[in-house]
Amino acid sequence: MVADGEVDTSRVTVKTYLPAYQKEQWQEHADQLGMSQSEYVKAMVQAGRRGFLDAPPDTAEAQPDDDTEGSGGDLRERVMAVLETDQHLDWDELLEALTDRIEDRLEDTLADLQDENRVRYSGRHGGYTLVEE
């Protein structure tokens, strides 16, 4: 059991299904980078999540990620602020602190877009799509 405020760093399994050709592409790229497929998928997911930091702030917790200085801009300040509070964080803990609530924000945004009939979820196609006018 994890106490309030602590991050559970135990390892768990994540399973997904994808076309065989895509798995082969991922494996080839992982091999080129000298990574296991598991390391590769984790790195790509984390890299993709970082892209969400560029989203415009729409909640009190959200802060912009100004990368115009070439060194992380506002992200540098955010990292420093998090480490002032929690002095020793591993990569995953630091990433979690910086991307806090992105899942909630995405879910709320998708719900709003669906309510406005601008986006719909297609179970048949397994994802979200724009509603054509």
Q: How many residues does the chain have?
A: 133
DSSP H stretches of helix in 89-133: 91-98, 102-115
Tokens at 58, concatenated: 């729409």
What's the chain's Rg over C-alpha atoms? 18
Start-to-end C-alpha separation, the chain = 50
Query: Is the separation of the CB atoms in 113 and 119 below 8 Å?
Result: yes
Q: What is the pLDDT of residue 118?
A: 92
Q: How far apart are CA 97 and CA 80, in angstroms?
A: 12
| Confidence (pTM) | 0.38
Q: Give the pLDDT of the chain (133 residues) as one tens digit per residue.
A: 667 777 888 888 888 888 888 899 989 988 888 888 888 888 888 777 766 555 554 433 444 443 333 445 577 887 888 888 767 888 888 887 777 667 777 888 888 899 999 999 888 888 889 998 7
Give the residue among 86, 128, 124 at the shortest CA–CA distance from 107: 128
Task: Provide the residue ranges of all domains of the chain, joining segments of one domain with +.
Answer: 20-100, 101-133
